[in-house]
Amino acid sequence: MTTALDDHPIHSWLTDMDGVLVHEQSALPGAADFIAALQRFGRPFLVLTNNSIFTPRDLRARLSRSGFDIPEESIWTSALATARFLAEQAPGSAAYVIGEAGLTSAMHEEGFILADSDVEFVVLGETRTYSFESISRAIRLITNGAKFIATNPDVTGPSAEGPLPATGSVAAMITAATGIHPYYIGKPNPLMMRTALNRIGAHSETSVMIGDRMDTDVKSGLEAGMRSVLVLTGSTSEDEIAQYPYRPTAVLDGIADVVPLVEALTPLESVELDED
């Protein structure tokens, strides 16, 4: 297990949510202390999730029930990243959206018109109620020239009964029918990281990404130019790290081990003023 992040100051922190801060509905050991340390030392931070179902308000309520409070503006979802990206590409255009409140709200807030004909984009997100009718309409719109966007490539999502088909699975169905592959916005696309950094005015050279998955969190952090911390409380085990052709900067047992690093790697005020 590696623990070295060197002594280069860290100005900003990005962290995945599930498997890092929470598991199911329970906070993982050290999660509340980590958030408290970031707030105490005035570190800009964002909590990231590929889940596009929920709004930041929903997720804040979920985290609050788990025992700690995170402001809505400190939560960044694949739905928000998708809406922000599309607003930069074609502001004010129309989109056909398959998804729930997290995605539709984000698209509305970025000024998009949600429609089912004459659209610039088909935007696919996660929902628990995928319908044959909506998928068929998406196929027809894409066949007629609409650009195909998906919030994230995750093929399954968790449930009490077991895995559920998620965005990536439904995207594969649409691709099979149209021959068109979507552009995925969420992790492991480093665009998710860059939109997050832009949101808090951070720079990749002085930021760290914390995650529990090598194939999404660590990969996207690496490709965005950040140092990365893999915690072993989620998807990737220590034995699995060697399967990948890249490595995280540090491997730690859990988020509790990151807490002392927040203080240790917080830059002195004079250093921050000089760099600004």
Residues 6+ apart with CB under 8 A from 54: 62, 77, 100, 101, 102
Map residue 5 onto helix, strand or coil: coil
18 among known catalytic residues: yes
* Gap between the Cα atoms of 156 and 135, Å rounded: 17
Catalytic, out of 6, 7, 18, 118:
18
Query: Is 199 exposed, middle or buried (CB count within 10 Å of its CB: 0-12, 13-18, 19+)?
Result: middle
Catalytic, out of 6, 7, 16, 58:
16
CA atoms within 13 Å, Cβ hemisphere of 10: 27
16 among known catalytic residues: yes
Amino acid at 2: T
| ∠ CA 275-17-74, rounded to 5° | 45
Catalytic residue numbers read 16, 18
